[in-house]
A and B are shown apart, each in its own frame.
Chain A
Amino acid sequence: MNVSERDHSAEAEVGRAALVGEPPVADFDRFYREQYRAVVGLAYALTGSRTAAEELAQDAFTTTFRKWSTVSGYDNPEGWVRQVVANASRSWGRRKGAELRALTKFGGRREPLVELAEPANDFWAAVRSLPTRQAQVVALHYLEDRPVDEIAAILDLGPGTVKKHLHRGRAALARTLDEPIETDSVDPAERSKP
Chain B
Amino acid sequence: MSVEEQARIARAAIEDAVDPLEAGVFVPRRRTAPVAALLLVAVALAGGLLAVTTLVGDGERDDALEAADPTSAADASAAAESDEVEDEALADPETAEDYWVLDPAPQGLDAIVLTDLALEAASMLFDVYGRGDLDNPFAEGAVIYGTATGLAIEADASGEPIDVDGTTIYASTNMLEWYVGDTAHVLLTDVLDQDTLIEAARSLLTEGELRIPGLERLAADVSPQGFGSSITRKVVIYGSPDDNAPFGVWLEPGIGGVQADLLMAAMAGFDGASLDRGFLDEETPATAAGAWEAFERSTSVVEGVGVVGITTNDEFVVIVGQIAGEEVILRFAPTGRSVTDGDIDRAIELFATARPATADEVDAFRAAGTALLEDMATDDEPAAAATGPYDGITDEGVAWQIIEGEDGVACVTVVDGPTTAEVCDFRDVVAEDGTTWQVSEGQVTVLVLPYRGERERGVRALHTDGTTGAVIPYERGDELLWYSVQREPVAAIEFLDPDDQSFQVAVPATGPADLWVLLAEPAPSP
Contact = CB atoms under 8 A, between A and B. Distances in A.
B312 A95 contact: yes
Contacts of A191: none
Interface residues of A, number: 99
B380 A91 contact: yes
Nearest to A167: B406
A32 B81 CA distance: 22
Nearest to A2: B166
A110 interface: yes
Given A3-B141, A84-B382, A99 B311 contact: yes
B381 A15 contact: no
B331 to A, nearest CB: 14
Q: Which of B2, B19, B81, B302 has the most CB of A within 10 A?
A: B2
B432 interface: no
Given A108-B224, A170-B3, A68 B103 contact: no
Interface of B: 1-4, 6-7, 9-15, 17-19, 21, 23, 25-26, 28, 78-79, 81-83, 85-97, 99-100, 102-103, 110-111, 113, 140-143, 149, 163, 166-168, 173-174, 179, 224-228, 230-232, 254-257, 259, 300, 302, 307, 310-313, 317, 339, 341, 344-345, 348, 376, 379-382, 386, 388-391, 401-406, 477-479
Given A41-B17, A65-B111, A103-B225, 8 more contacts: A1-B141, A25-B89, A37-B23, A44-B18, A54-B21, A61-B26, A67-B79, A91-B379
B348 A32 contact: no
Interface string A34-56: 00111011001100001111110
Contact of B307 (A24, A80, A106, A161): A106
Given A3-B142, A3-B168, A58 B111 contact: yes
A40 B232 contact: no
A33 interface: yes
B348 A123 contact: no
Contact of B85 (A19, A33, A95, A116): A19
Contacts of A84: 380-382
Nearest to B75: A70
A177 B7 CA distance: 11
B85 A80 contact: no
Contact of B310 (A29, A55, A102): A102
A109 B222 CA distance: 9
Contacts of A112: none
Contact of A182 (B2, B7, B88, B391): B2
A128 B386 CA distance: 25
B91 A18 contact: yes
22 contacts: A3-B102, A7-B103, A18-B92, A19-B92, A23-B89, A25-B95, A62-B111, A68-B82, A69-B85, A98-B344, A101-B344, A102-B307, A103-B228, A106-B302, A108-B300, A119-B6, A120-B14, A133-B479, A145-B11, A156-B389, A158-B403, A159-B389
Contacts of B341: 98, 101
A179 B382 contact: no
Nearest to B390: A156
A15 B313 contact: no
B225 A108 contact: yes
Contacts of A69: 81-82, 85-86
A115 B17 contact: yes
Contact of A25 (B83, B99, B141, B406): B99
Contacts of B478: 131
Interface of A: 1-4, 6-8, 11-12, 14-15, 17-19, 23-25, 28-29, 32-33, 36-38, 40-41, 44-45, 50-55, 58-63, 65-70, 80, 83-84, 87-88, 91, 94-96, 98-103, 105-110, 115-117, 119-124, 127, 131, 133, 142-143, 145, 152, 156-161, 163-164, 170, 173-174, 177, 179-180, 182, 188
Ranked 5 nearest A-B pairs via Cβ: A23-B89, A120-B13, A36-B23, A108-B225, A3-B141
A67 B401 CA distance: 26
Given A98-B310, A98-B344, A66 B102 contact: no
A123 B143 CA distance: 44
A121 B13 CA distance: 8
Contacts of A37: 18-19, 21, 23
A99 B255 contact: yes
Nearest to A164: B404
Contact of B95 (A23, A65, A105, A157): A23
A160 B86 contact: no
B96 A11 contact: yes
B404 A116 contact: no
Nearest to A62: B110
B10 A123 contact: yes
Contacts of B4: 182, 188
